[in-house]
Amino acid sequence: MSVRPGSSFTADAVPRAASRPTLWLRATRPLYLPTSLVPALAGALVAIGTHGVEWWLLPVALVALTLLHAATDVCNDVEDAAHGVDAPDKMDNSGVFSRGLLPIREGRLLYAVLFAGAFLIGVGLSLLQGLALLAIGVVGILGGWLYTGGPRPYKYDGLGDPMIILLMGPLLTLGAYVAVTGDRFSAQAFWLGFAPGLLIAAVLSGNNAADIEGDRAAGVRTLAVRLGFTRARLVYLTALTGAFLAPVALYAAGLFGPWILLPLVLTPLALARVRQALGARVNGDESLVTLAPQTAQLHLLFSVLLCVGVVLDRS
């Protein structure tokens, strides 16, 4: 994920005299790490009342997830800079590599170390909770790396939007559940992830809709570039709407009780984002500048309320 102008964390916020550890931290985009941690927590909370839950493993799993998300963010920054996608004056990244504050080679080493750390912790957890958890973790690592890394990054082929729904949604919620229970699968934990996954897809599509011209110039064919601005905006609106319909579907399917509808109190904020998106008539419109970060804030609030709803449902 990335932060656009108007947020508190932009490329201009990176001091050129910053120490290496400070630059490493900034490259992980720490303000966006909760977008994976909070949904994962919601998935783990589905295990409340389940026999034999190993709650002490939850913080271990969250550490592994933090490393995985941080590695993905660094990889995104490094490879976008290496492919010329991020110009030095681009504001919606950490600015660490696009501005030459750290070399690309060092960035690749950094994200390799972070991925390796996540993998090693995942292996340890899998020895305790089963190979299903290892499979989920490997899919997460490959999904994070191949987004902008590897021989053919799927972000550059327009597949980032649909893939992120799974990677930042059901994979997180189910993975956290498996980590604390050892069960191979839970329909409740799996389907719970679609709402935060769709919201993250909305963040990404809003960001890409604002970057159509820059991405096209860099030869990056995101879904927004492929579809054009009007249809890209429709993708954003569809993802946002789907996220708010997801709790209704969970309740209607009998997977959860009425407390799962708690995040719907944020509907007025979602409608404000709808009006903001519809108010943008063309790519580059000023109203798009804050669309992605404000949608990310909505995602965080939604995910927190989802956690509360799961706890109340299990009480």
User: How confident is the model over 199-222, as pLDDT tens digits?
Assistant: 999 999 998 888 888 888 878 889
Is 205 inside a domain boundary?
yes
Least confident window among 2-11, 70-79, 266-275: 2-11
Picking from 136, 83, 135, 145, the residue whose alpha carbon sits closest to that of residue 114 is 145
Tokens linked to 71: 């590695």
Per-residue pLDDT, averaged over 289-294, amounts to 90
- Total domains present in the chain: 1
Does residue 85 form part of some domain?
yes
Residue 18: band (very low, low, confident or very high) from pLDDT cuts 50, 70, 90: confident
Tens digits of residue pLDDT in 126-173:
999 999 999 999 999 999 999 999 999 999 889 999 999 999 999 999
- The percent of residues in the chain predicted with pLDDT above 90, rounded, is 78
End-to-end CA distance of the chain: 34
Higher-pLDDT residue of 9 and 237 is 237
pLDDT confidence of residue 16:
57
pLDDT one-digit tens code per residue, 49-90:
999 999 999 999 999 999 999 999 999 999 999 988 866 555
Residue 264 lies in a domain: yes
Instruction: Evaluate whether residue 8 is within a structural domain.
Output: no
Say if residue 1's pLDDT is above 50: no
CA distance 82 to 113: 19
Tally Cβ neighbours within 10 Å of residue 274. Answer: 14
The mean pLDDT of 190-198, rounded to a whole number, is 98
Looking at residue 90, what is its pLDDT?
A: 58
Q: Is the pLDDT of residue 92 over 50?
A: yes
Residue 17 has pLDDT above 70, yes or no: no
In a domain, 59, yes or no: yes
Average pLDDT score over the chain: 91
Query: Is 124 a residue whose pLDDT tops 80?
Result: yes
Highest mean pLDDT among 1-5, 165-169, 229-233: 165-169
- Would you say residue 37 lies in a domain? yes
**Cα–Cα distance between 97 and 27 in angstroms, integer?**
8
**d(C-alpha 243, C-alpha 164), whole Å:** 13
**Residue 66 DSSP SS3:** helix
Instruction: Count how many Cα atoms sit within 13 Å of the Cα of residue 88 in the half-sphere of its side chain.
Output: 4
What pLDDT score was predicted for residue 210? 84
What CATH number is given to the structural domain containing 134?
1.10.600
Share of the chain above pLDDT 70, in %: 92
216 located within any domain: yes
Instruction: For residues 212 and 296, give the distance between their C-alpha atoms in angstroms, rounded to a whole number.
Output: 19
Residue 12 has pLDDT above 60, yes or no: no
Residue 189 · residue 61 · CB < 8 Å: no
**What is the domain extent for residue 103?**
19-314
In angstroms, rounded to a whole number, what is the distance separating the alpha carbons of residues 246 and 302?
12
